Amino acid sequence: MKRVLLWSVCGVVFLGALGHILFYEHAKDVKRRALRRELMAIAAKSAPSIDAAALARIPLTMDGDKSPEYKDIFDTLLQIKETYPIVKYVYILTDTNEPGILQFVVDADPLPAIITAKSQRSFPGDKYDARSYPEMLNGFRGPSADRKISADDWGVTLSGYAPIKDTGGKVVAILCIDMDAGQLYAYLQSVRPIIFLLWVLVAAAIIAFMVDLALRKRIVPGGSSQKP
């Protein structure tokens, strides 16, 4: 009777904990996928508003932000932010001769809230190493979005990308959209200890089952233990 009760408790703990783990993992994926779709949609809808010809005329130098083309496109990026309140940062990158290395063209939010040696102002022509961000590079082929949340001096963000094309359909740059992912990040951080505890309960249920099984194998009829 005691063994039946033990197995029943272990079964309830195991199934309950595993069910909650699957629920939390599914909830995380649903939230992340929804935000990625929204970012890709915003980037894809906004990219055609960028004048590719004017973009090509911006000098990729520190003085490039003083050109009239830069100021016009800068205003366009600000309009995108006003249209979509979810957007925190918006900027444009183009490629270089180095694989995976991009460079800024226009940055509507050049200054992060906290200025450090690692987060200086981005000028036209400033390099950006995108080799660790495959989805950013995929933005040259079509709308894409990061699969992981980024946390840096600019805050906690999730980013979406879309190609900017000229009148001939050639991709000349990518539009980058960053959204504030602080709430999602906080949610993910809050459920981590819960998931850890649930895994502990699952492990405890499995261990209890294995110990009970081992003890049963060592006991023979009559109550004596088997000799090794």
Tens digits of residue pLDDT in 39-59: 999 999 999 999 999 999 999
In a domain, 61, yes or no: yes
Q: What is the pLDDT of residues 3-44, one digit of tens each?
A: 555 555 555 555 555 555 554 555 567 677 888 899 999 999
Domain that residue 159 falls in: 35-185
| Neighbouring C-beta atoms of residue 173, cutoff 10 Å | 25
In a domain, 123, yes or no: yes
In a domain, 168, yes or no: yes
Q: What is the pLDDT of residues 52-90, one digit of tens each?
A: 999 999 999 988 989 999 999 999 999 999 999 888 889
In a domain, 125, yes or no: yes
Instruction: Please name the residues in contact with 214: beta carbons below 8 A apart, sequence gap of 6 or more.
Output: none
Domain count, the chain: 1
In a domain, 51, yes or no: yes
- Per-residue pLDDT, 125: 92
In a domain, 107, yes or no: yes
In CATH, what number is assigned to the domain containing residue 181?
3.30.450.20
Q: 114 pLDDT exceeds 60?
A: no
The rounded mean pLDDT for the chain is 77
> What is the distance between the alpha carbons of residues 64 and 62, in angstroms, rounded to a whole number?
5
Mean pLDDT of 198-217: 64
In a domain, 1, yes or no: no
